[in-house]
């Protein structure tokens, strides 16, 4: 089909004699779409009707020019175009099916990856023909009755060799799917389509758009700043190859994104790995609406821990008047709930004065450690208080839930948080002289609190803190807890339920063996067997619940279905 070279559509006054309107199927800001019947060729078509008004004819021509140069099974075909003097008509291939937007939340992981692969292949073809779509979004993708994805609506596309719509300052497309360069009104290229495709795929897999804010301005700011939660943290059960492909597609810098063809290849490899499920209703999709309250819940947990930490530590030091305890608790909780970073800074500051009252040397070490802790955890302040959660769970034999729960921080950050909690828990128990605990690992020879108080200078105090932190039992605890966080993440990423259960049972057994055998062999430390069994049992039950509940329909279960 020749590329259109003029600015108005061909005049065809008697169009109604050829095309019979069947029903209206959709409408947008400037066009209406009807299902029609082509009497001449005896086939259904989609008739897009655009009212002629200032500036609209150029958009019609661009859509026709772009579509006329494309012939691909993944792109809705343009059959004809004309006008009647008042309106422009575009006759498209009619796709029996539904828009991708209507299928959000219904596609299984494999189906979502398959849709992404087909769209990536269609975009790779369009880019090879010199066409950039510029408006990739679920509303512009049709899923036909056979499950194939078809890209449509090239209304704001541009030809790479054209001079129209290329100047900086133009902002076209839907905000929540725009690339950073498009949102910033900079010149765009094929990488912009790749970004939009990545956002669509993220939404299919996570159940929500990662940049959408409460207002268009907030959404635009999120896009430009690249404020996107990594997909691997939202869906740690997905194969790493799939999450990496999405992460690469939504890189903030256009030059760092792969081509559409490369994205298609990565998605194809993820599908061929056989680790993606096909179920329409997975447990995480049921629970996902509750995760809208995740930020609020995390702040509430942090506020509660801040209040408890301030109360416990202030009761240990007689520095502040007893009547201050309740106000300090309330203020710590309130500040944390409103602005967690401010709450963390306040809590660390409140505790500085009592530590200096014990020992100036210890106070100096505390200030250095507090500044480092704030700097490292300011992005996720709850991490700083994770050891406090572990300590609070000691009396109910649930301490090991802290490292297991650290998996919620992601497969990379989770083990680090768990290790930090392990070291912090051991340090606190030694300060309190709770030596007969599974989480100390050895019988201490002296009173750690007395040793720190007697330190004559900051270097000595720092040395004694590091000596405990880097001791064999502490390193063992950090390694076991970090491994436990990794084991939980890995177990939940497995697909067949039987394999999950084996991974769960082996992980629980390994934790028990390490805590029971290693301290005896290395330090002749025999902890109460009943306490260790109780702790591992509580952990095993809670993790088993997560393993069984986070299931969904697996590929092998799908094959066994009967109509």
**Is the entire prediction scored with pTM above 0.75?**
no
Higher local confidence (pLDDT), 541 or 32: 541
Instruction: For residue 238, name the pLDDT band (cuts at 50, 70, 90).
Output: confident
Instruction: For residue 392, name the pLDDT band (cuts at 50, 70, 90).
Output: very high
10 Å Cβ neighbour count for 541? Answer: 10
Mean pLDDT of the chain: 82
pLDDT at 407 over 80: yes
pLDDT at 384 over 90: yes
CA 387 to chain centre: 25
The predicted-structure confidence for 271-318, as pLDDT tens digits, reads as follows: 887 667 554 434 444 445 555 566 678 889 999 999 999 888 888 777
pLDDT at 5: 40
The predicted-structure confidence for 37-93, as pLDDT tens digits, reads as follows: 988 888 898 888 877 765 445 556 666 666 667 788 898 888 888 877 777 788 888
Instruction: For residue 2, name the pLDDT band (cuts at 50, 70, 90).
Output: very low
The predicted-structure confidence for 395-404, as pLDDT tens digits, reads as follows: 899 999 999 9
Please identify which of the residues 80, 109, 111, 135 carries the catalytic annotation.
135
pLDDT at 29 over 50: yes
Separation CA 102–CA 142 (nearest Å): 9
CATH 1.10.510.10, applies to 97-280: yes
Q: Which residue ranges does the chain devote to CATH 1.10.510.10?
A: 97-280
Q: What is the mean pLDDT of residues 412-417?
A: 90
pLDDT at 208: 86
Instruction: For residue 490, name the pLDDT band (cuts at 50, 70, 90).
Output: confident
What secondary structure, in 3-state letters, does 476-529 show?
HHHHHHHHHHHHHHHHHHCCCHHHHHHHHHHHHHHHHHHHHHHHHHHHCCCCCH
Higher local confidence (pLDDT), 457 or 562: 457
207 sits in the region (left: phi over 0; alpha: psi -120 to 50; else beta) called left
The predicted-structure confidence for 355-376, as pLDDT tens digits, reads as follows: 888 888 888 999 999 999 999 9
Q: Is 135 a catalytic residue?
A: yes
Higher local confidence (pLDDT), 284 or 486: 486
10 Å Cβ neighbour count for 257? Answer: 24
pLDDT at 388 over 90: yes
Q: Structure tokens of 299?
A: 């702040």
Instruction: For residue 11, name the pLDDT band (cuts at 50, 70, 90).
Output: low
**Residue 94, C-beta contacts closer than 8 angstroms, at least 6 positions apart:** 35, 36, 43, 44, 45, 46
What three-state secondary structure class fits 275? Answer: coil
Secondary structure element (H or E) that encloses residue 27, with its range: strand 19-27
pLDDT at 190: 92
pLDDT at 561: 34
pLDDT at 169: 41
Separation CA 123–CA 367 (nearest Å): 55
- Are 116 and 22 in contact by the 8 Å Cβ rule? The answer is no
Q: Structure tokens of 492?
A: 């939940």
Q: Which residue ranges does the chain devote to CATH 3.30.200.20?
A: 15-93
Using CB atoms within 10 Å of the CB of residue 497, give its burial: 0 to 12 exposed, 13 to 18 middle, 19+ buried: middle
The predicted-structure confidence for 498-553, as pLDDT tens digits, reads as follows: 888 899 999 999 999 999 899 888 888 887 888 899 999 999 999 888 887 754 43
DSSP 8-class letter at 75: B
The predicted-structure confidence for 133-191, as pLDDT tens digits, reads as follows: 888 999 889 888 888 899 987 654 444 444 433 344 444 557 889 999 988 888 888 99
Share of the chain above pLDDT 90, in %: 32
Q: Structure tokens of 364?
A: 């100096």
pLDDT at 163: 41
Give DSSP secondary structure letters for 399-453: TTHHHHHGGGG-TTHHHHHHHHHHHHHHHHHHHTT--SSTTT-S--SS-HHHHHH
CATH architecture designation of domain 15-93: 2-Layer Sandwich (3.30)
Give how far Cα 160 sits from Cα of 60, 133, 174, 183, 203, Å: 17, 10, 20, 19, 28
């Amino acid at each position: 089909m020749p590329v259109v070279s003029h600015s108005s559509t061909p005049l065809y006054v008697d169009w109604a004699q050829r095309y019979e309107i069947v029903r209206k199927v959709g409408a947008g800001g400037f066009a209406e779409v009807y299902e029609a019947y082509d009497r001449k060729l005896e086939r259904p078509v989609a008739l897009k009707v655009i009212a002629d008004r200032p500036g609209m004819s150029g958009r019609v021509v661009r859509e026709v020019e772009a579509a006329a140069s494309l012939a691909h099974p993944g792109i809705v075909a343009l059959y004809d175009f004309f006008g009647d003097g008042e309106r422009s008509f575009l006759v498209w291939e009619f796709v029996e099916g539904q828009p991708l937007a209507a299928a959000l939340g219904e596609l299984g992981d494999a189906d979502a990856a398959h849709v992404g692969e087909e769209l990536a292949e269609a975009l790779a073809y369009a880019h090879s023909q010199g066409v950039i779509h510029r408006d990739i979004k679920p509303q512009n993708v049709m899923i036909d009755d056979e499950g194939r994805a078809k890209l449509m609506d090239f209304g704001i596309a541009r030809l790479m060799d054209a001079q129209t719509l290329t100047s900086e300052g133009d902002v076209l497309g839907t905000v929540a799917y725009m690339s950073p360069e498009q949102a910033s009104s900079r010149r765009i290229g094929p990488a912009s389509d790749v970004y939009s495709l990545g956002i669509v795929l993220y939404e299919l897999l996570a159940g929500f758009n990662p940049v959408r804010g409460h207002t268009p301005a907030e959404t635009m700011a999120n896009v430009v700043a690249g404020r996107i939660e990594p997909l691997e943290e939202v869906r740690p059960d997905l194969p790493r190859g799939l999450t990496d492909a999405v992460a690469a597609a939504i890189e903030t810098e256009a030059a760092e994104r792969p081509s559409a063809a490369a994205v298609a290849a990565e998605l194809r490899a993820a599908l061929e790995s056989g680790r993606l499920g096909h179920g329409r209703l997975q447990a995480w999709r049921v629970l996902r609406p509750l995760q809208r309250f995740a930020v609020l819940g995390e702040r509430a947990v942090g506020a509660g821990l801040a209040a408890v930490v301030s109360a416990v530590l202030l009761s240990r030091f007689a520095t502040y008047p007893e009547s201050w305890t309740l106000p300090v608790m309330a203020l710590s909780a309130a500040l944390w709930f409103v602005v967690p970073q401010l709450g963390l800074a306040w809590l660390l500051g409140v505790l500085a004065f009592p530590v200096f009252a014990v020992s100036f040397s210890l106070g100096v070490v505390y200030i250095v450690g507090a500044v480092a802790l704030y700097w490292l955890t300011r992005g996720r302040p709850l991490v700083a208080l994770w050891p406090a959660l572990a300590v609070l769970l000691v009396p109910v034999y649930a301490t090991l839930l802290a490292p297991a729960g650290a998996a919620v921080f992601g497969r990379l950050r989770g083990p680090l948080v768990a290790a930090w909690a392990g070291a912090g828990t051991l340090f606190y128990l030694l300060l309190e002289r709770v030596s007969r605990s599974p989480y100390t690992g050895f019988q201490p020879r002296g009173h750690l609190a007395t040793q720190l108080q007697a330190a004559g200078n900051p270097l000595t105090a720092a040395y004694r803190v590091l000596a405990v932190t880097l001791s064999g039992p502490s390193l063992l605890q950090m390694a076991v807890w970090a491994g436990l966080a990794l084991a939980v993440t890995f177990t939940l990423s497995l697909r067949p339920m039987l394999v999950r259960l084996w991974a769960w049972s082996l992980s629980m057994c390994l934790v028990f063996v390490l805590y029971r055998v290693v301290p005896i062999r290395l330090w002749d430390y025999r902890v109460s067997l009943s306490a260790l069994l109780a702790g591992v049992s509580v952990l095993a039950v809670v993790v088993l619940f997560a393993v069984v509940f986070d299931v969904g329909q697996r590929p092998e279960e799908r094959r066994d279905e009967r109509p």
